Structure 1
């Protein structure tokens, strides 16, 4: 693959699927700084993996697999690192109040609760939920995760139930 082809393919992928990278990173990180680091790691991994892209799966399916595998690898390394090192204080980027005020703040809170619950799922279930939230078909989810379509249905049903329980616990003030 030539440098121009690679750059064109990467740019096309980023234009169409950059939001998916942010969703994956958000589900596997706790802080804005970690999220930025993971996004950079995913983008780097996609870029360096592009010469190996054979076109057997769609570009979005292939890149999702790269993004999820990168996030899972990063999550494991980060978990081990955090076990050895504790930050003095976690600093999050302040939320943008937005033009809608209270309604926008309520929506942001709901999204934050959802991502917090997704982070509490086992990593494979979190990946499946992210694919579902991104409106991938069962066939596409199966391709990304390397499992059968029927297994996607079973695992997704279990993950949705677990996610519902986590959200219910969270809304009742339990963790």
Structure 2
């Protein structure tokens, strides 16, 4: 867990935030890649997430996990972004441009697994925003406690949702 110490000047505060954002940029890009389509939309969402993180920065509690704090804010911004876009476009499907560990980290997909990845991407794209966030965090190997904290739900709710999601995946790929 990162530890952040109180800063004395606005420049120090900006530098600390900038360093934190650089160190954990993968969170921002992973969320933006999962909730936005097209390079411009992803860039806009990543910028919105970074701006919201900056606005929330003065209220960050150093006793808490910085990654949990960042995920929570990023997911809230992404879900809000998704809702606004859906209202404008009036359609349900949202293609995901990055998926799973390798794809989200910029690694190429094994050609033998390409169809499976495409099917899973389509499945994830059809999920409601909260379930999509849950899947993303689960695939990141986040603990149920951390997922619960990020999403603002109970650990038992996380466990139940994961179990149901696994069953829906099994049913979808039979």
Same fold (TM > 0.5): yes
Q: CA deviation at 1:107?
A: 5.3
What is the CA–CA distance in structure 2 between the aligned matches of 1:132 and 1:13, rounded to whole Å?
A: 23
Q: 1:144 aligns to what?
A: 150
State how far apart, in whole Å, the 1-side matches of 2:21 and 2:134 are: 21
CA contact (8 A) 1:26 1:115 kept: no
Q: 2:44 aligns with which of 31, 37, 47?
A: 37
> Runs of 5+ in structure 1 lacking a partner?
85-91, 93-99, 170-175
Measure, in 1, the Cα distance between the counterparts of 2:117 and 2:17: 29
Which residue is equivalent to 1:160? 166
Aligned counterpart in structure 2 of residue 78 of structure 1, from 76, 79, 85: 85
For the structure 1 residues 20 and 162, does the alpha-carbon distance in structure 2 shift closer, same or farther, using more than 3 Å as the test?
farther
Aligned residues: 153
CA distance, structure 2, for counterparts of residue 107 and residue 8 of structure 1: 42
**One of 39, 61, 69 as aligned partner of 1:62:** 69
Report the secondary structure of 1:160's partner residue: helix
Contact map agreement 1:121 1:163 (CA 8 A) in 2 = no
Cα displacement (A) at 1:118: 1.7
Secondary structure of residue in 2 paired with 1:147: coil
Runs (4 or more) in structure 1 with deviation over 6 Å come to none
Structure 1 counterpart of 2:20: 13
Do the aligned partners of residues 30 and 16 (structure 1) sit closer, same or farther apart at CA in structure 2, a change above 3 Å counting? same
In 2, distance between residues paired with 1:126 and 1:7? 32
Query: Structure 2: any 5+ residue segments left out of the alignment?
Result: 1-6, 92-96, 98-106
- C-alpha offsets along residues 39-73 of structure 1, whole Å, 9 cap, x if unaligned? 11111111121112123421110110000000010
Distance in 2 of aligned mates of 1:118 and 1:56: 33
